[in-house]
Amino acid sequence: MGQKVIATARNIDRIRDIEQAGAAVMTVDVTWSPEKLKEVATSAIGTYGRVDYLINNAGYPCQGAIEEVSHQETYDVFSTNVFGVLNVTRSFLPHFRERRSGGIVIISSISSRQYFPGITIYSATKAAVSMIGEGLKDEVEALGIKVLTVDLGVFKTSAFKRDTNLKKAAQVIPDYKPINDRYDEIREILMGNEPNDPKLGVLRIIEVITQSGMAAGRVVPVRIPLGK
């Protein structure tokens, strides 16, 4: 579609394939300090002279019942999934305001609307960023900045693979084994059987935020579900 892309990851080796496809890549941890993330924004803007769209996609789940997930584990999940979105977005907003244009995409999840056993803390973070997206849209729309929150369904990515960044609570309480077993069962069923194509999902997100393709001539909505 002709976009120039800056891809980021904590471990840049995980996105070398994107670099080989022509994208610029940067090592970024969204839990860095707000000051360091502002430096990241400045560097990203300098790469191509401007940034038109920011996509907030960092996040991970921590499996466990509420009592099992410790304060620190809860804080760590919120630090990445919520505070990371806030601080990265704040870092780019001055650039978008100055230009009176731009778009921000917040990747949320179907779990922000629907309960899934064993990942309540993760679901809470996604509910939080979905509401942040709704509020942000109202705040900046008059400034020419578009905001889209996407509640993703289950896509064929590494999310359900055993070797991914799924974390489990260090504390295990036997009383909650049935809850965790239910999540494990869902995960096993979905592993390798994810119904949605991530490439098509990305295309739809790009079309909506840029108001092109299937979304040409349409208003950017506050929030959309995407995929089953």
Cα separation, 184 vs 171, in Å, equals 17
* 120 occurs within a structural domain: yes
Active site residue 161: no
Q: What φ, ψ does residue 149 adopt, rounded to 5°?
A: -105, 130
Print the domain residue range for 66: 53-226
* 24 occurs within a structural domain: no
User: Following CA atoms 188, 121, 60, 50 in sequence, which dihedral angle do they give, to the nearest 10 degrees?
Assistant: 140
Q: For position 190, what pLDDT does the model report? A: 73
Are 96 and 45 a contacting pair, CB within 8 Å?
no
Look up residue 184 and give its two tokens. Answer: 């494990």
Cα separation, 166 vs 160, in Å, equals 8
* 35 occurs within a structural domain: no
Q: Note down pLDDT in tens along the chain; length 228 residues.
A: 578 999 999 999 999 999 999 999 999 999 999 999 999 999 999 999 999 999 999 999 999 999 999 999 999 999 999 999 999 999 999 999 999 999 999 999 999 998 899 999 999 999 999 999 999 999 999 999 999 999 987 766 655 455 566 899 999 999 999 999 999 998 887 776 665 677 888 889 999 999 999 999 999 999 998 877
Q: For position 160, what pLDDT does the model report? A: 47
Active site residue 115: no
Which of these is catalytic: 122, 137, 146, 183? 122
* 9 occurs within a structural domain: no
Which of these is catalytic: 91, 108, 123, 130? 108
**CATH number of the domain that residue 196 is part of:** 3.40.50.720
* 165 occurs within a structural domain: yes
Are 142 and 120 a contacting pair, CB within 8 Å?
no
pTM for this model (two decimals): 0.91
Which of these is catalytic: 91, 126, 137, 176? 126
- Structural domains of the chain, count: 1
* 100 occurs within a structural domain: yes
* 176 occurs within a structural domain: yes
Cα separation, 35 vs 194, in Å, equals 38
End-to-end Cα spacing for the chain = 25
- Sequence-ordered list of residues with C-beta below 8 angstroms from that of 121, at least 6 positions apart, any chain: 61, 62, 64, 66, 69, 73, 74, 77
- Sequence-ordered list of residues with C-beta below 8 angstroms from that of 38, at least 6 positions apart, any chain: 91
* 161 occurs within a structural domain: yes
State the SS3 of 78-119. Answer: HHHHHHHHHHHHHHHHHHHHHHCCCEEEEEEEHHHCCCCCCC
Active site residue 126: yes
